[in-house]
Structure 1
Amino acid sequence: MSQINKLKILNDPIYGFITIPNPLIYDLIQHPYFQRLRRISQMGLSYLVYPGAHHTRFHHALGCMHIMQKAIEVLRFKGVSISPDEENALYIAILLHDIGHGPFSHAMEHSIVENVNHEAISLLFMDKLNADFDGKLSLAIKVFKGDYNRKFMLQLISSQLDMDRMDYLKRDSFYTGVAEGNINSDRLIQMMNVVDDVLVLEEKGIYSIEKFLMARRLMYWQAYLHKTSLVAELILTKVLKRAKELTQKGVVLPCSEPLRFFMKNKIEREDFNDNVLDQFAQLDDFDIVGALKSWQHQDDVILSKLCKMIINRDLLKIKLSSEKFAKEEITKLIEDLIKKGEVSMADASYFIFKGKIKNQAYNKTAEPIHILKKDKSIEDVVEASDQLNLKALSKPVTKYYICFPKHLKEN
């Protein structure tokens, strides 16, 4: 009987060849929970702005594992002791860090499930996989939760300069064509070291870190928080809210069984038993897109209109401002919409709404990016840098938005 070769090599457009380091990692990648990530878009509805942005979370997770391999190689070369078990735990933790993402992730976190973030669901998946794999993920889960005694390992997985950010900036920049997001991850990894159990970057890599932080800021405004992507995601949230409302009133909407399950039930963190997790594991982008295509023909005018907006990319108008929008502006738009006899006062909030977005490229109050200076002292990157821009990057920038149908007059 022939044995499957589990030490595969994959071709990645960003890094070239990626190797799967051992049979356990191969088996995790082959698991249906992980294969689902092939059907979860990395950038949600951003393809409505950047047609190339169709890459998946599967792509991203493998990329993160690849650069984790590079980071471990560099750290060991510099004398940092990392045992084979710790190495494997780092691979597993970074590979599975996004496994809890739902379809069009951020829209899901506010509609299909209630107040449950993807990190919490990732942990539930890891626990379930750990049971399936006879406890072989225990150390990875400890590292992922920050319960392991070697602090730098968590920093490699989740910090302001982790493998996750390094991959998604480079990858998303490539697939969107937003060149400003391209970073030199090889240089950043070569500059890594560990001092007193803390991840540091050598001072000679400071310009690469400045470029990384600037790239992150530009990618947020140009891609992740691009106003068209933002309004599309907000409309999708409204679609799911409306569909859930109708389903719970007894209206039968055509959709897949896993999606129907979440439409019918209010699911919060404490409701996530094995059955709910299995239902969630069957949800992907195709369930949502299939539902949008069906629901655009529904009798419910609100659901139908909202679905057509996304399917045909004929979205609501969105205005951004650094100042809050006056309450009177919203009231006037709602009055105009009601006058046209299109919706009732109760339903106007599906088409006219406001909110805010925030971007902070570097958070000084969180775990800082540590710079190892030539005299062996350690300093926060903002203090070590001669770039005044970095101080500006550590200030949060808030923008306010208002969304409304295009045919209404702007005030």
Structure 2
Amino acid sequence: ILLHDIGHGPFSHALEQTIVEGISHEDISSLFMDRLNDEFDGRLNMAIDIFKDTYPKKFLHQLVSSQLDMDRMDYLMRDSFFTGVSEGVISFDRIIKMLNIKDDQIVVEEKGIYSIEKFLVARRLMYWQVYLHKTVIAAEQLLAKILERARELALNGEELFATPALSYFLNNNINIKTFIHSKPDLDTFASLDDTDILSAIKVWCGHDDFILSMLCKNLINRNLYRVEISNEAPSAERVNELVLHAMDKYGVNEDEASYFVFTDSITNKAYKVGDGSIKILMKDGSVKDITLASDHSNLEPLAKTVKKYILCYIKGL
């Protein structure tokens, strides 16, 4: 449980796929655990089997990765505390006390059903109010665009200030095959942290490339993208109008304008019915999915994926 997210790079999910393309943090976590296992002479065999869901007691993997795993309960409480958003507070201690095993699966005793309902509602609210808040989206998108521009320049031969570790990933096209089989790749990735990124961004504020310099200044000065979130995709006419304004205002071409105006989408699904779903152990010994066991009519909508569209653009367009 403690090792399962060890593969996260700088700024966690915000820069996933930006530094190393085509490989998820779970894959990198697995590589780190295998490396540690070699150093500890196989003493992590059981932990790795649980992580990869090859251990005979299947319920142990559910504690590491499921819709009611320890990570989700931890980050809801921790993020609620540090953001001051009370909606993420859950009765984690009661939920843990209500956990049981039935047919090698984690189940929740029926008397804990209301704590589970609160957990699912809290997760959905935290996504809209914190993780998918428009200011969070604006900052994450800006950070990703900065790294995208930096890599574009570096791969075209432009010299950029960077720590040795960051420079390695800026100047090389690293794919999943080379990363998995390359010890230097993993060692270099392990030395990366937020400081590598932030120190580079502060220096890039003075770079000759107008786009990179402007994006970095905007992040440092917290002049983030304006973000519009809607249920329908923004019209092509509106997007094109903003692109033309950006081209005219900043003297860039259409491809370069994509750093100033772009669209994306976000999804929120608090619960997935089916494989890995939350099971309730009823008093008669039967097991039901939480959506069937609950008398709370609001749980069914939580199992539906809500997709929203975002339009990001530089303020002043």
Q: Same fold (TM over 0.5)?
A: yes
Q: For the residues of structure 2 that align with 1:366 and 1:252, how far apart are their CA atoms?
A: 49
Which amino acid is 2:268 matched to? Answer: N
Deviations 1:297-321 (A, max 9, x none): 1010100111111111101111000
Deviation at 1:365, TM superposition (A): 3.4
What is the TM-score when the length of structure 2 is the normalising length? 0.98
Which amino acid is 1:114 matched to? Answer: E
Q: Which residue of 2 aligns with 1:135?
A: 42
Q: Which residue of 2 aligns with 1:123?
A: 30
375-384 or 107-116: bigger deviation: 107-116
* Alignment pair present for 1:204 and 2:111: yes
Secondary structure at the residue paired with 2:13? helix
Q: Which residue of 1 aligns with 2:208?
A: 299
* Alignment pair present for 1:220 and 2:127: yes
Q: Which residue of 2 aligns with 1:95?
A: 2
Q: Which residue of 2 aligns with 1:188?
A: 95
Q: For the residues of structure 2 that align with 1:110 and 1:301, how far apart are their CA atoms?
A: 25
Q: For the residues of structure 1 that align with 2:104 and 2:22, how far apart are their CA atoms?
A: 34
Deviation at 1:341, TM superposition (A): 4.1
Q: For the residues of structure 2 that align with 1:321 and 1:368, how far apart are their CA atoms?
A: 29
Q: For the residues of structure 2 that align with 1:359 and 1:375, how far apart are their CA atoms?
A: 34
Which amino acid is 1:305 matched to? Answer: M
The number of aligned residues is: 315
Deviation at 1:346, TM superposition (A): 2.2
Q: Which residue of 1 aligns with 2:274?
A: 365
Q: For the residues of structure 1 that align with 2:196 and 2:19, how far apart are their CA atoms?
A: 12
Q: Which runs of 5+ in 1 are unaligned?
A: 1-93
Q: Which residue of 1 aligns with 2:158?
A: 251
Secondary structure at the residue paired with 1:355? strand
Which amino acid is 2:52 matched to? Answer: K
Q: For the residues of structure 2 that align with 1:194 and 1:365, how far apart are their CA atoms?
A: 18
* Alignment pair present for 1:351 and 2:260: yes
355-364 or 267-276: bigger deviation: 267-276
Deviation at 1:405, TM superposition (A): 1.5
Q: For the residues of structure 2 that align with 1:347 and 1:291, how far apart are their CA atoms?
A: 21
Which amino acid is 1:145 matched to? Answer: K
Q: Which has the higher contact order (CA 8 A, sep 6+)?
A: 2
Which amino acid is 1:185 matched to? Answer: F
**Aligned-pair identity (%):** 54
Which amino acid is 1:212 matched to? Answer: F
Q: For the residues of structure 1 that align with 2:259 and 2:106, how far apart are their CA atoms?
A: 46
Deviations 1:246-288 (A, max 9, x none): 1111111111000000001111211121110000000000001
Deviations 1:75-127 (A, max 9, x none): xxxxxxxxxxxxxxxxxxx1101100000122322211101110000000000
Q: Which residue of 1 aligns with 2:147?
A: 240
Q: For the residues of structure 2 that align with 1:135 and 1:270, how far apart are their CA atoms?
A: 24
Q: For the Cα contact (< 8 Å) 1:110–1:237, is it kept in 2?
A: no
Which amino acid is 1:219 matched to? Answer: M
Q: For the Cα contact (< 8 Å) 1:97–1:119, is it kept in 2?
A: yes
Q: For the Cα contact (< 8 Å) 1:109–1:115, is it kept in 2?
A: no
Q: Which residue of 2 aligns with 1:48?
A: none
Q: For the residues of structure 2 that align with 1:217 and 1:279, how far apart are their CA atoms?
A: 36
- 1:148 alignment partner, one of 27, 38, 55: 55
Deviation at 1:228, TM superposition (A): 0.8
* Alignment pair present for 1:324 and 2:213: no
Secondary structure at the residue paired with 1:388? coil
Q: For the residues of structure 2 that align with 1:284 and 1:303, how far apart are their CA atoms?
A: 20
Q: For the Cα contact (< 8 Å) 1:356–1:398, is it kept in 2?
A: yes
